[in-house]
Structure 1
Amino acid sequence: MTAEATDANTAHVPSRRTELDAQVVDDLDMVGLALLGGPANVIMQLAVPAVGYGVFESKVDSGNLFKVPVKRTRTTLTYLAVAAMGSAEDRRRYRQAVNKSHTQVRSTDDSPVKYNAFDPTLQLWVAACLYRGWEDSQRFFGDPSKITEEAYRQGAVMGTTLQMPPEIWPATRADFERYWIETVDGLEVDETIREYLMRIVRMDFMPKPVALTMGWFSETMTIGFLPDEFRRKMGIAPTRAQERFFAAHNAIARRVLRVLPRPLTAFPFNLLLADVRWRMRTGRPLI
């Protein structure tokens, strides 16, 4: 589906998008330590072949993790900050910036699967993974009581900050769970995407000294946060040492979070939101 077709499909539902964009999504509390589960969330997103190959084959070098790791990480995390914590204007401006990059992400005749970054069904899956990651962060590091039906409905901004039509977001949390189970059951991760994802897990995109030093930690956190069904599809499992380290790390992290002030628990998302607003004021590129 082309960008023009997607815009045409969403043109008849401006009121819902406006309603979502008009609110600051206070219920979606971003916990900085949730970044440790980021690679696991990437695996979940890219397990859908059209998303996986869209990233793997992308010709947008400015968004390539293996070519510009710092910039790519910043833009991805900024998207989360803007979607969950930003204002309507923040989301509108960032949507425009992301759309410019997404126009170049589409399959060719040689691609194993067909994809287009503006495909609303793919944007729904990515948004679903991001929302699921938010839920997991609340269970691990945040306040599980925040996982309410209202918070779930607000979670649609993970997709509508792009071009996902609001009406395709599952209406209730129960509907979401059915969609999630059905989608995951049908997934298969081929060897090309599996190896690409494992390179991300091992931090191969970073300078070799960093990858050698932090690769084990990244792998331990990723496998720990990855749901069992995705572990099976990836053919990976934690070692006993990794399981013990993961449990001990999270126990300590939870205790630390209880005493930290809000600005520190929300770091770096609060800093990234401030940065993107500074970029808007000064006319600098947002991504």
Structure 2
Amino acid sequence: MKPDTERLFTDIAAEAVLLAGGGRAILLQIANPAVGSGVAAHSDFANRPLERLANTVTYAYATVFASPDELAAVVSRVNHAHGPVVSRPAERDELGEPLAPHAAAAAGGGGGNEGGSGTEGGIHAGGGERPGAAYNAFDHRAQLWVAATLYQTALTVYEKVFGELAEADAEYVYQRYGVLGSALQMPAQLWPVDLAAFRAYWATAVAALEVTDPARRVAHDLLHPHTAPLWLRALMPIVRLVTCGLLGDDLRRAFVLPWSPRSQRRFDLLFEVAAAVYPRLPPRIRHLPRDRYLRALRASL
């Protein structure tokens, strides 16, 4: 391990600006129809948005910065929260692993896009409830997808603000981010072996996404939290702008999220300003959420 490269990774993981990608990561997760159906059946973004945010952010920070005992406590809480999140029992392959949604459909003799309303850029805009989608929050492939969305979103936001990483640095950061899945008992070998393999996995996984009606309802609740504190609701126009802008055209259309040339100009300007200002802030300001969430974690143990 090169000390400078490890420092780069921990600095990236501590950056508050990465939180701007939280909405995008969640929408990517629920665009997997199996994950979306489980979350829609057992989640309540509209009623507890801050608690949901705190749990996710605490886990992400704990995987990098917490002690082993602190991380174990966070993982136990996550496992307890995920216990009820199951849709119908997952079909299994010959090794006993749950089949990914597109593989399960193939095993059942059906194509992944049959019966839907159309495909845009490989992302299927499904119109139904998808009652056959299978999800268990402890399925390793589901854990891989969730970890992948967190890593890829963090990298996307970081590079929009700080510029692209050198390839060697990007490779190291990618390898270290595998802890997001392995901390939840995902076998380490499921994390693609290198960045090139991850990019291939990502392209295939994104092409298989299908946004269903339950996923759209979750997205609406996430982006319009009517019971949230007033200060959070006041920030939601910016949250919606950033989330929609980071998704790209295909997913915006699949989620039926409004976007216009004016929206794109505002989004571009926002990140131009962020790239000019945010890196010049002192680290104690840029890392403040990390420190706050870790203090809260330690106070709760």
Q: Which TM-score bucket, shorter chain as reference?
A: 0.7 to 0.9
1:33 to 9, 14, 17: 17
- TM-score of the superposition, structure 1-length normalised? 0.79
Q: What is the deviation of 1:210?
A: 5.5
209 and 27 in structure 1: CA distance in 2 versus 1, 3 angstrom threshold: closer
Q: Which of 164-173 and 135-144 deviates more? A: 135-144
Question: Are 2:212 and 1:190 equivalent residues in the alignment?
Answer: yes
Paired residue for 1:227?
A: 248
Matched, 1:253 2:233: no
Distance 1:210 1:149, change over 3 A: closer
- Residue 96 in 1 paired to residue 76 in 2? yes
- Kindly state the Cα deviation for residue 69 of structure 1 after the two structures are TM-superposed: 2.2
Does residue 105 of the first structure (1) align with residue 85 of the second (2)? yes
TM-aligned CA distance change 1:66 to 1:141, over 3 Å: same
Aligned residue in 1 for 2:300: 279
- Is the counterpart of residue 53 in structure 1 residue 73 in structure 2? no
Q: Give the CA deviation at 1:77.
A: 1.2
State the partner residue of 1:157: 179
**What is the rounded CA distance, in whole Å, between the counterparts of 1:80 and 1:52 in structure 2?**
21
- The answer as to 2:59 corresponding to 1:79 is yes
Cα separation, partners in 2 of 1:238 and 1:30, compared to 1, 3 Å: farther
Q: Does the C-alpha gap of structure 1 residues 28 and 36 become closer, same or farther in structure 2, counting only changes over 3 Å?
A: closer
Residue 263 of structure 1 corresponds to which residue in structure 2? Answer: 284
Q: Deviations over 1:159-183 (max 9, x none)?
A: 1121211110000111111111111
1:178 to 2:196 alignment: no
Alpha carbons of structure 1 residues 122 and 242: separation in structure 2 relative to 1, 3 Å? same
SS in 2 for 1:118: coil
1:111 shift after superposition:
5.0
| 1:203 paired residue number | 225
In the TM superposition, structure 1's runs of 4+ consecutive aligned residues that sit over 6 Å from their partners are: none
Task: Give unpaired runs (5+ residues) of structure 2.
Answer: 1-5, 90-129
The 8 Å contact of residues 47 and 228 in structure 2, kept in 1 or not, is answered as: no
- Deviation track 1:125-184 (CA, whole Å, cap 9, x = no partner) reads 000000001111221224633752111111101111212111100001111111111111
Q: Distance in 2 between matches of 1:112 and 1:262?
A: 47
In 2, distance between residues paired with 1:56 and 1:95? 22
- Is the CA contact (8 Å cut-off) linking 1:86 and 1:273 kept in structure 2? yes
Q: Percent identity?
A: 28
Q: Aligned pair 1:117/2:137, yes or no?
A: yes
2:146 aligned partner: 126
- Closer, same or farther: CA 79–219 of 1 in aligned 2, 3 Å: same
Q: Which residue of the other structure, out of 44, 52, 57, is the alignment partner of 1:64?
A: 44
8 Å contact 1:127–1:156 — kept in the other structure?
yes
Take 1:154 and 1:76, find their aligned partners in 2: how far apart are those partners?
18
1:44-92 Cα offsets, whole Å, 9 max, x none, are 011011111111111xxxx732222222221111111112333333322
CA distance in 1, matches of 2:183, 2:206: 24
Matches of 2:184 and 2:147, distance apart in 1: 9
Offset of residue 198 of structure 1 = 2.5
User: Is the Cα contact below 8 Å between 2:17 and 2:158 reproduced in 1?
Assistant: no
Separation in structure 1 between the aligned mates of residue 229 and residue 282 of structure 2, nearest angstrom: 33
Asked whether the 8 Å contact 1:34–1:141 carries over to 2, the reply is: no
- Offset of 1:237 from its aligned partner? 5.1
Report deviation, 1:276.
Answer: 0.8
**Other structure's SS at 1:217 match:** helix
1:241 aligned residue: 262
- The aligned residue for residue 107 of structure 2 is none
**Whole-angstrom distance in 1 between the partners of 2:294 and 2:230:** 30
Q: d(CA) in 2 for partners of 1:205 and 1:239?
A: 28
What is the alpha-carbon root mean square deviation over aligned residues? 2.5
SS at match of 1:122: helix
The one-letter code matched in structure 1 to 2:228 is M
Give distance in 1, aligned partners of 2:16 and 2:229: 24
Asked if the contact 2:32–2:211 (Cα under 8 Å) also holds between the matched residues in 1, the reply is: yes
